[in-house]
Chain A
């Protein structure tokens, strides 16, 4: 069972992720579902009646522009990191937070390891589905790897030079 960290705590994961090939039939039940982008785009106009919480997940090559107008409809947006070194999701996260005003849960999924967490959190992720084999206690310590940053980011909206006394 994959471990989910949210707001620096280990929590239960109430969401089910539908993979990119999920059939439409999967939408019928009342679970909390994370839809692949393609399915969301296909069904976005026929889904408003669903009562259960709704989320979407973006793969690393899928830009946030595709859901820019819809972000208020999602309780969770997940961004996939298919490889340890695929850094596109960091930009996706910043755009969702800083440009498209998304305030809900932003979840990193895929190859999410302890040593990514500080940067992911800086870019606006607040939930992390750790990859198999990660030590959850060690992961919780990762958020304190650095106590400061020069750059502006969702975690620190002003760059260091504008925060100096």
Chain B
């Protein structure tokens, strides 16, 4: 965990004071709705269907047990006793009261958490690989770079009123577990032949209405130049990004309109002025920030296997296979606590669970947790010896569903049940799919599938990068669902053979909600028939044979009579 110094703390405290004053002025009628909107968004406060929503940043997914206990306390005291982990390593509260938000922010500040720039047209929470610092395939520990970028981005005076929201992700491993290519700026930390750290810099990635894969702006940017280079990109965007049309104002549109070459040239020309400016990072600053991270006191020389006795217990093997992940320190493993139990909205966690999870973190993982962009929690540093005990404890809390990476690990936005932007509900769709695939043997036989659901085109459920992506659409006031396949969040496995980032392709006309489990079932059947072995995943098959065979399976034989086809599935 990064530990604040006095200045880090002071800035967050001053921000709370500032927002308290802004809220007071709004409630006294001295600030208009419009002005206050811009200010409250910059403090994580969004107006939803029923109530305000407060988005709390979990910086690059790092969370301590102490912070989680505070979050539990806040949900009890100011909300309805639960929270929702989003796809951007944030926690969202659905029922806070506007006038109490300054108090909530003050409480967050006591545990070094904040909501600064959690919403609004500004630089959002920096996201990263939830296995940063512990993954065996890691080249560079992304956390220190995330923190350097977090500090640079926080309250940046020039970039506080961007054309639109701006998301930065950092990854430092061979596998991409942070969907880096789908961010406004994506940073892959690398080492050159001499071992020096640098970054492959991508810009213009994103989801939403115009999904795009980021283009490479720099193949290798030496680390000292990281902040000045970010400044150059942001300045080009702040100055030239469109502000006349909400739907065309993300940096991806600027990159597209300028063309990658011209965009790159503009950034380089701007950076030529900024290179070696005082914001150029120093070895000293790098060491200073590194030294403010607490490190687990790993035991050395541990055997790197899980106790044999546990394998005999029913369920342990399946859990171990899906929810236990390799660790770079022998004798340790990372464990995902699945927040994807059937019947619970994906990513939701109750205050009681939060307290219990904090307890697990203290007992088994040095008091530390990670939040994943797939809306689960991770205990990053668990001794393999203790896996059986942890499994039993997690199971009794409903957090041991062995489905990480599988079809029922549905990534899902809050959708029409909560969100004012949604065209359709998403949570009931997730649940219906989970119920259809509740047979664990079948689920494990199907193997790895990313299934993502968004309730509207804003794509908070990242449906474009699900192997199967489902999008809620509105047709004449009715909820319908479009289905895509072939999306991929990135090279989630090391190696050149693994599929890289890709966007899903729409299968065809949309479906009624009740038909979605059938559609998914047909896609899966088609996959199972087509795969050449269990090692060939759903996404691999889609890439090999294309969308067409899946489309035929779902919509029926294209030569059949339309009336007959309509009889099978209600489509619109």
Contact = CB atoms under 8 A, between A and B. Distances in A.
Interface string B319-361: 0000000000000000000000000000000000000000000
A90 B234 CA distance: 12
Interface stretch (A2-10, A39-47, A79-87): A79-87
A70 interface: no
Contacts of A153: 157-158
B29 to A, nearest CB: 12
Contacts of B156: 150-151
A91 B35 contact: no
A151 B288 CA distance: 16
Contacts of A155: 157
B157 A157 contact: no
Interface string A118-129: 111011000000
Interface in A89-120: 90-92, 94, 99, 113, 115, 118-120
Contacts of B281: 161
A145 B15 CA distance: 8
B14 to A, nearest CB: 5
Given A148-B10, A162-B282, A115 B35 contact: yes
Given A63-B239, A146-B14, A90 B160 contact: yes
Contacts of A122: 157
B159 A148 contact: no
A149 B159 CA distance: 13
Interface in B26-50: 30, 34-35, 38-39
A137 interface: no
Contacts of A123: 157-158
A154 to B, nearest CB: 9
B10 A119 contact: no
Nearest to B237: A91
A160 B7 contact: yes
B35 A87 contact: no
B44 to A, nearest CB: 16
Contacts of B151: 150, 160
A161 B160 contact: no
Interface in B5-63: 7, 10-11, 14-15, 18, 22, 25, 30, 34-35, 38-39
A66 interface: no
A148 B22 CA distance: 20
Interface residues of B, number: 40
B6 to A, nearest CB: 10
B160 A84 contact: no
Interface in B494-526: none
Given A151-B279, A161-B288, A87 B160 contact: yes
A103 to B, nearest CB: 19
Contact of A119 (B160, B243, B288): B160
A38 B177 CA distance: 51
A159 interface: yes
A157 B277 CA distance: 10
A149 B157 contact: yes
Interface string B67-85: 0000000000000000000
Contacts of B157: 90, 118-120, 122-123, 149, 151, 153, 155
Contact of A161 (B34, B163, B238, B282): B282
B159 A87 contact: yes
Nearest to B241: A88
Contacts of A148: 7, 10-11
Given A84-B34, A161-B285, 10 more contacts: A91-B239, A115-B22, A146-B15, A148-B7, A148-B10, A149-B157, A150-B156, A151-B157, A151-B279, A162-B285
Interface of B: 7, 10-11, 14-15, 18, 22, 25, 30, 34-35, 38-39, 121, 151-152, 154-163, 227, 235, 238-239, 243, 273, 277-279, 281-282, 284-285, 288
